[in-house]
Amino acid sequence: MPRPLSPTALAGAMSQQTDEVYLVLLTIQHQTGAVYLTSDSVITTSNGNTFLPLPFDITLPKMEESQASSATLTIDNVDRQIIAELRTQPIAMMVQIDVIVASEPDTILVSFPDFSLRSVSYNAMTITGQLTMEAFLMEPFPKDRMTSQYFPGLFFR
């Protein structure tokens, strides 16, 4: 399904040469607040939030309706405080991925909200985690099976 683009983003995408830069913004929400990261090498302000530059690699989800969305996030382990924060979180952190054009930081081109950061692993160089989205459409409905064990009144012997 095509996405509408701003005139600046469309001109940058269609030009043979351009000065436009597409940026990925991460919002990681945890129990005590939120962390804002940008793929740019400078501080970026978008929609009132200040995104700090931190090297990361992200594999964006495929746009398929038949399966649940999943992405992979790898952050450079530049500060031991990140791992300390990960260890203290009893529940999965929520992550939002936004793509913008650097010249129009308040216009979000693509947004992937409501990812859960799960399966986090780390070493001396990187922190890697799976960003998964709850697949409500894949869940059976109703959740209980109508069997004689659970609903004996439905079945006659």
49-106: pLDDT as tens digits = 999 888 888 887 666 666 666 788 898 877 777 777 777 777 778 889 898 888 888 8
Please tell me the distance from the alpha carbon of residue 44 to that of residue 38, in angstroms, as a whole number: 7
User: Does some domain include residue 122?
Assistant: yes
Closest CA to 23 of 33, 36, 34: 36
User: Is 11 inside any structural domain?
Assistant: no
Question: What residues make up the domain containing 141?
Answer: 20-154
Residue 7 in domain: no
Q: What is the mean pLDDT of residues 110-118?
A: 84
Q: Quote the number of domains for the chain.
A: 1
**What number of residues does the chain have?**
157
Residue 97 in domain: yes
pTM of the model: 0.72
